[in-house]
């Protein structure tokens, strides 16, 4: 700061907060998505079986980087880091495909107290309808949304348990983590990818905490941290008939998105926190900085970071794991894989849905930019507010509700390897 004395102290510093680079990046994202959808449609028209890989000789790649700031074409990963990241996404994308197993979903239904949840949802829905009618408004949520909200309450309060350090099985004293231990053949067979080792602070007994990623197993163990919670809860939402997404965040958190047929949009649900439709929880509530939030479903993958990071200059962490055009390629590949057996009609429906979501995500960015402009020019607040009110969809404005004692720092929420 001090080495730039030519700058007037206050006003330019504030103006720079608007961050033109961020603005153009948002615009770039927007154009890229449009181009991507056009491209996807085109390639589907041109060849049914052809590789989706964009030609490297595309005229765009010959343009200068500055000229390329507008639309980006998906690009094959070249460097090792990019290849690795795309592979990681592909591996992660398998998670929600495991839910599409009738035997598993039937099993899941046997553990859910269906009568209780449906009755509760019915009551809540009726109250909601009556309240909406009394103020002359259409109900914001539908019956199925209340079913999932009831599931959420039951899951957090009665079904699943949060485990930091497991209790000693002999004397019930607290244990202390001492590191990762190799899984036993039995743990491996039951799908434990990592096993944490703990030592009892009283009697010295060694305890193991296998981290299961297999949802069958989680129906039995009913405990874990963020990963287990999100995985099992997302599957249970699927069992109750909702379309689901399992959302992975590169800062090592995972959560759920459930499709609200009533609102025709994806709704954020965090089972660990019992939160429904509070996508700004992590950033504006807890002050986290997030780089990538990628939603995986049976229909593909979507970069939903903008839903969770409304103001990229304030809450966005550096997106440097992979070039943006390569990330796009990775997401495109996953969509192609998941959709390759779908009918033309289903593909068209999904494409429309992708476009609708893109408009929604774009609106979040626009609204955040508008709010920043409002902060710069207080006189324009009325104008901006009018626009903001047109953002119909989320009801996540009450910041006080999101703030929760569980903060990012919490070593108490991570295992011996520092992972949640």
Q: Report the interface residues with Zn ion, using CB under 5 A.
A: 168, 170-171, 173, 200, 202-203, 205
What tokens were used for 144? 């199925």
Torsion on CA atoms 322, 325, 329, 330, rounded to nearest 10: 20
Rounded least distance, CB 173 to Zn ion, Å: 5
To Zn ion, the closest distance from the beta carbon of 206 in angstroms equals: 10
Distance of closest approach, residue 176 Cβ to Zn ion, in angstroms: 11
Q: Which is nearer to Zn ion, 204 or 410 (CB)?
A: 204
Identify the burial level of 92 via C-beta atoms within 10 angstroms of its C-beta, where 0-12 means exposed, 13-18 middle and 19 or more buried: middle
Q: How far is the CB of 166 from Zn ion (least distance, A)?
A: 11
Nearer to Zn ion, 202 or 287 (CB): 202
What Å distances lie between residue 152 and 85, 158, 171, 239, CA to CA? 32, 10, 33, 13
Q: How many CB atoms neighbour CB 33 within 10 A?
A: 22
State which residue, 108 or 200, has the beta carbon closest to Zn ion: 200
Residues 356, 358, 360: CA angle, nearest 5 degrees: 75
CB of 172 to Zn ion, least distance (A): 7
The least CB distance from residue 164 to Zn ion, in Å, is 16
- 286 neighbors 404 (Cβ within 8 angstroms): yes
Nearer to Zn ion, 63 or 203 (CB): 203
Measured from the CB atom, the residue of 196 and 358 that comes closer to Zn ion is 196
**Minimum Å distance from CB 201 to Zn ion?**
7
CB nearer to Zn ion: give 170 or 348: 170
Question: How many CA atoms does the CB half-sphere of 178 hold within 13 Å?
Answer: 13
Per-residue tokens: 149? 């909200």
Token pair for 147: 């079913």
DSSP symbols for 48-97: SSS--PPPTT-GGGGS-TTGGGS--------SHHHHHHHHHHHHHTTGGG
Nearer of residues 168 and 240 to Zn ion, judged by Cβ: 168
Residues 6 or more apart whose Cβ sits within 8 Å of residue 192: 183, 210, 211, 212, 213, 217
CB burial of residue 105 (10 Å; 0-12, 13-18, 19+): middle
Tokens of 141: 């949520």
Rank residues 177 and 237 by Cβ distance to Zn ion and give the closer one.
177
Taking the C-alpha atoms of residue 317 and residue 305, their distance in angstroms, rounded to an integer, is: 11
Using the minimum distance from each CB to Zn ion, give the nearer residue, 203 or 399.
203
Nearer to Zn ion, 165 or 249 (CB): 165
* Neighbour tally for 208: CB within 10 Å: 15
Q: How far is the CB of 197 from Zn ion (least distance, A)?
A: 14
CA 238 to CA 235: how far, in whole Å? 5
Q: What's the rounded Cα separation, in Å, for the pair 325 and 329?
A: 6
Smallest gap from Cβ 170 to Zn ion, in A, equals: 5
- Residue 72 sits at φ, ψ, to 5 deg, of -115, 135
Shortest Cβ 183–Zn ion spacing (Å)? 22
């Amino acid at each position: 700061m001090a080495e730039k004395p030519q700058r007037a102290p206050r006003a330019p510093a504030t103006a720079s907060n608007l961050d033109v680079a961020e603005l153009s990046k948002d615009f770039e994202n927007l154009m890229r998505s449009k181009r991507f959808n056009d491209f996807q449609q085109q390639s589907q028209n041109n060849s049914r079986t052809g590789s989706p890989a964009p030609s490297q000789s595309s005229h765009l790649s010959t343009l200068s980087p500055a000229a390329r700031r507008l639309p980006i074409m998906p690009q094959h990963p070249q460097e090792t880091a990019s290849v690795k990241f795309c592979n990681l996404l592909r591996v992660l994308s398998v998670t929600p495909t495991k839910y599409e197993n009738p035997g598993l979903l039937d099993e899941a239904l046997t553990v859910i107290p269906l009568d209780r949840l449906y009755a509760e949802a019915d009551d809540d829905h009726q109250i909601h309808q009556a309240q909406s009618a009394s103020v002359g408004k259409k109900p914001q949520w539908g019956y199925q949304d209340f079913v999932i909200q009831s599931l959420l309450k039951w899951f957090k309060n009665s079904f699943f348990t949060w485990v930091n350090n497991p209790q000693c099985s002999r004397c019930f004293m607290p244990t202390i983590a001492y590191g990762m231990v190799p899984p036993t053949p039995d743990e491996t067979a039951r799908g434990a990818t990592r096993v944490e080792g703990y030592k009892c602070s009283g009697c010295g007994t060694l305890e193991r905490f296998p981290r299961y990623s297999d949802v069958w197993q989680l129906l039995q163990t009913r405990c874990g941290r963020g990963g287990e919670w999100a995985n099992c809860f997302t599957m249970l939402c699927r069992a109750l008939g909702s379309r689901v997404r399992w959302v992975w965040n590169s800062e090592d958190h995972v959560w759920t998105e459930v499709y609200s047929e009533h609102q025709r949009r994806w709704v954020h649900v965090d089972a660990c926190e019992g939160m429904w439709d509070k996508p700004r929880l992590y950033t504006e509530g807890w002050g986290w900085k997030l780089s990538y939030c990628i939603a995986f479903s049976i229909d593909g993958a979507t970069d939903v970071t903008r839903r969770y990071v409304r103001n990229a200059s304030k809450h966005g962490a550096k997106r440097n794991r992979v070039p943006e055009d390569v990330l796009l390629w990775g997401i495109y590949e996953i969509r192609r894989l998941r959709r390759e057996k779908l009918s033309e009609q289903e593909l068209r429906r999904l494409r429309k849905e992708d476009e609708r979501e893109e408009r929604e995500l774009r609106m979040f960015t626009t609204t955040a930019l508008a709010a920043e402009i409002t902060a710069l020019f207080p006189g324009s607040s009325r104008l901006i507010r009018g626009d903001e009110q047109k953002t119909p969809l989320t009801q996540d404005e009450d910041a006080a509700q999101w703030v929760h004692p569980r903060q990012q720092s919490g070593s108490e929420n991570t295992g011996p390897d520092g992972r949640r």
